[in-house]
């Protein structure tokens, strides 16, 4: 299906363009502006060129936050993608059971992010929370406010609990879109369940899994509210991820210049990763069509 070539199509796009540009370009300009200047007070600013960028890029605490962030996002993707696909495979596919399952599965996605943090604060407290009490009951002294490992584990539980449903929903939809004939042919060919998954279901889910991967990467890399509410970045700064660090710098230290430079760098890192993921997945698809 070749598309029609017509530049007048721009008219259809203008509302979106204006809306997003209005929201995006002005802040972007502001951020670029701030990142290149030192602001002492209203009306007192000095152009400092790339000084803030140098400062930001050599900030060891930023490096630490970046590594923590990469580790976190990496773990998130490693756990949530396979788990989400698995759940989508084993859940009821049709009928009322499917509808109810979908609603229940989607519930965690609809909770405001700071409420998620709150839920898990309560849930993990040994005195009033089931999880905390249960762990304590097993003989492990549970206190995520003092133990970095426990803080990380709690965060991972919270994150996986919160966001795997997104992968499940997307994977489920992808599976439902596969025509029945493929499964019929596989049966006739004597294919095992694993072979059916590997040669039919997985390839045909490439589209939705790309969306899932990109969304999960972006959102986990940008994560702020949930970990902030649960651990505040601590104990110490063992769970201070990039966003939390950024806000600390911007708000806590009131240093807009470095914060702006940091934001741009942050944005570019995400852009780079997303672009890479996108290209890889597109090429896998093209390879199939070569």
Partner 1 sequence: MAKITLDKVAHSYGANPLAPSDYALRLIDNIWQDGGAYALLGPSGCGKTTLLNIISGLLTPSKGRVLFDGKDVTALPPERRNIAQVFQFPVLYDTMSVYDNLAFPLKNRGFNRADIKTRVLEVAAILDLTDSLGKKAAGLTADAKQKISLGRGLVRSDVAAILFDEPLTVIDPHLKWQLRCKLKQVHEHLKLTLLYVTHDQVEALTFADHVIVMYQGEIVQIGTPQELFENPSHKFVGYFIGSPGMNFMPCTLEGNEAVVGDIKIRLNDQTAALGAGARGKLELGIRPLYLEVHDRNVQGSVPARVKSIEDQGSYKIVTAVLGSRNIVRARLAEGKPAPCEHAWLKFPESWIRLFSDERLLKN
Partner 2 sequence: MRLQKRTFFFMGYLFLLMLPIYWMLNMSLKTNADILSSFTLYPVNITFENYIKIFTDVSWYSGYINSILYVTMNMAISLTTALPAAYAFSRYRFLGDKHMFFWLLTNRMAPAAVFLLPFFQLYSTFGLIDTHIAVALAHCLFNVPLAVWILEGFMSGVPREIDETAFIDGYKFPRFFLTIFLPQIRSGIGVTAFFCFMFSWVELLLARTLTTTNAKPIAATMTRTVSASGLDWGLLAAAGILTIVPGALVIWFVRNNLAKGFAMGRV
Q: Interface residues with partner 1 (CB under 8 A)?
A: 179, 181-182, 184-185, 187-192, 195, 199-200, 203-204, 287-290
The residue (of 191 and 225) whose beta carbon lies closer to partner 1 is 191
What is the distance between the alpha carbons of residues 179 and 197, in angstroms, rounded to a whole number? 14
Q: Which does 195 bind (CB under 5 to 8 A by kind): partner 2, partner 1, none?
A: partner 1
What is the distance between the alpha carbons of residues 148 and 249, in angstroms, rounded to a whole number? 22
The CB-of-191 to partner 1 minimum distance in angstroms stands at: 6
Rounded (10°) CA dihedral 236, 241, 244, 250: 100
The CB-of-195 to partner 1 minimum distance in angstroms stands at: 7
The residue (of 127 and 288) whose beta carbon lies closer to partner 1 is 288
Q: Which does 197 bind (CB under 5 to 8 A by kind): partner 2, partner 1, none?
A: none
- Which contiguous run of DSSP H or E holds residue 218? helix 206-221
> Helix axis angle, 51-58 relative to 256-289, nearest 10°?
70
Q: Which does 141 bind (CB under 5 to 8 A by kind): partner 2, partner 1, none?
A: none
Q: Which does 122 bind (CB under 5 to 8 A by kind): partner 1, partner 2, none?
A: partner 2
Question: In Å, how far from its chain's centre is CA 35?
Answer: 26
The CB-of-285 to partner 2 minimum distance in angstroms stands at: 8
The CB-of-185 to partner 1 minimum distance in angstroms stands at: 4
The residue (of 99 and 184) whose beta carbon lies closer to partner 1 is 184
The CB-of-202 to partner 1 minimum distance in angstroms stands at: 9
Q: Which does 56 bind (CB under 5 to 8 A by kind): partner 2, partner 1, none?
A: none
The residue (of 36 and 188) whose beta carbon lies closer to partner 2 is 36
- Any residues with CB less than 8 A from the CB of 250 and at least 6 apart, and which? 256, 259, 262
Q: Which does 111 bind (CB under 5 to 8 A by kind): partner 2, partner 1, none?
A: partner 2
Among 175, 168, 169, CA closest to 203? 175
> Does residue 274 have a cis bond before it (omega within 30 degrees)?
no
- Any residues with CB less than 8 A from the CB of 217 and at least 6 apart, and which? 73, 77, 270, 273, 274, 277
The residue (of 54 and 189) whose beta carbon lies closer to partner 1 is 189
The residue (of 83 and 188) whose beta carbon lies closer to partner 2 is 83
191: left (phi over 0), alpha (psi -120 to 50) or beta: beta
The CB-of-81 to partner 1 minimum distance in angstroms stands at: 19
């Amino acid at each position: 299906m070749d598309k029609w070539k017509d530049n007048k199509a721009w008219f259809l796009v203008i509302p979106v363009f204006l809306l997003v540009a209005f929201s995006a370009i002005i802040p972007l300009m502001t951020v670029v502006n701030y990142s290149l200047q030192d602001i002492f007070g209203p009306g007192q600013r000095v152009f400092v060129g790339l000084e803030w960028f140098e400062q930001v890029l050599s900030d060891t605490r930023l490096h630490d936050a970046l590594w923590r962030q990469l580790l976190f996002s990496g773990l998130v993707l490693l756990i949530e993608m396979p788990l989400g696909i698995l759940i989508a495979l084993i859940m009821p596919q049709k009928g009322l059971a499917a509808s109810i399952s979908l609603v229940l599965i989607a519930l965690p996605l609809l909770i405001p992010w700071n409420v998620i943090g709150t839920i898990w604060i309560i849930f993990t407290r040994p005195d009033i929370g089931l999880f905390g009490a249960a762990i304590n009951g097993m003989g492990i002294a549970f206190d995520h406010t003092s133990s970095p490992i426990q803080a990380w584990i709690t965060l991972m539980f919270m994150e996986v609990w919160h966001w795997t449903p997104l992968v499940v929903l997307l994977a489920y939809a992808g599976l439902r879109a596969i025509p029945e004939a493929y499964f019929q042919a596989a049966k006739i060919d004597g294919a095992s369940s694993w072979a059916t998954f590997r040669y039919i279901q997985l390839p045909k889910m490439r589209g939705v899994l790309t969306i899932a991967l990109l969304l999960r990467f972006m959102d986990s890399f940008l994560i702020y509210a949930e970990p902030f509410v649960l651990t505040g970045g601590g104990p110490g700064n063992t769970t201070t991820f990039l966003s939390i660090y950024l806000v600390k710098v911007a708000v806590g230290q009131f240093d807009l210049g470095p914060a702006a430079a940091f934001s741009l760098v942050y944005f570019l890192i995400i852009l780079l990763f997303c672009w890479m993921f996108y290209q890889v997945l597109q090429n896998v698809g093209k390879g199939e069509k070569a």
